[in-house]
Structure 1
């Protein structure tokens, strides 16, 4: 049996009660959800269903929305890429924020929610396009990105692990210099992460990833059964004269 999409093993009982009752639409629960998200940032846990529920409450009650909490929700959604969580979060933000964060509308004002969305969307796009070196370059040289992710404990380590997971799913071997750029690690830190955290091996200038069900090349033979009478009908129609 598959895991339910709203399942979260770390979810407190009071949050679960709210999510499964009418109180999830009660504006008074916004503070409860906000505290819960702050806890997720500190404990390195993640509850997509609860975070989306808060954004929905903000959508219904825009006067209650807190930019800092929205920032944290978006950053936490980044940490589970390549899942669609970040895009789901964006879909619940006010339209004016999304419109003013587009380049063709001009740069958003400094310190606004739209500016934060623009910068985090850049990181999201780079991750989705597997531009991992660009992701780290943007992150390291964009002061706003550093500020936006400051509340999320272990953000950089989490992103390295997520990148490593994607690499393990599609590669058996990768150049050391390439992987160093993707992980933003070099020297002893790189060696430790690759060997001790990932369990991969370093062979000269190559990093080898153990075979698994995702990265193992397998030949697939496609078979299609077509009955003889299907051919006969097709040939007959080809020779029929139009009426």
Structure 2
């Protein structure tokens, strides 16, 4: 349905269209462009500020999952999470410090001396080659005279410093009897005996050396000092008689 139009007002003044100057339109367009550019810059600054704020908070709270290093077993990615073995310095034990930080000298440990177990030496005994009874004639050499008499030596088993037998001198005027003690062993062919006269008119003490000879005989050598200080020497060759 068409609405009837009202008749024009005959008394109304005709309106003239507003004309805009050409310079004003250009100025308005420039202002609009500047405002748009400023808004874009402000928006970019706000976005950058928000991004920087997030990075700061992320760094303060620790690395995120996005910053985690790639897995060591990923192909083509070297493992940098562990330092090379050669670059890690060996751990050196701290030396005990002395004064002013100077390491104190170590005190040497004195080894405990071990006491050797005493061993009992095997007793040295009279060699079997000398066991038995030996008899012969002795010649006593003196500065003024020479005497001859019979000498009998009987030897039995025994060790050093033990009595191993007896000795007897049969002379024209008297007989002397004594004991003998083993004082030294020179291998298997020589022994030294200490003589101690028990009865008779003889020098109380003397030294007898017996040396084995071939044919079951021994050399008898006697040395002593008489009461007057002179030396007494007796030599004899004895044979085994028992």
Shorter chain as denominator, the TM-score bin is: under 0.3
By percentage of residues, which structure has more helix? 1
- With normalisation by structure 1, the TM-score equals 0.15
Query: Relative to total residues, which structure has the larger strand share, 1 or 2?
Result: 2
Relative contact order higher in (CA < 8 Å, ≥ 6 apart):
1
Bigger radius of gyration, 1 or 2? 2
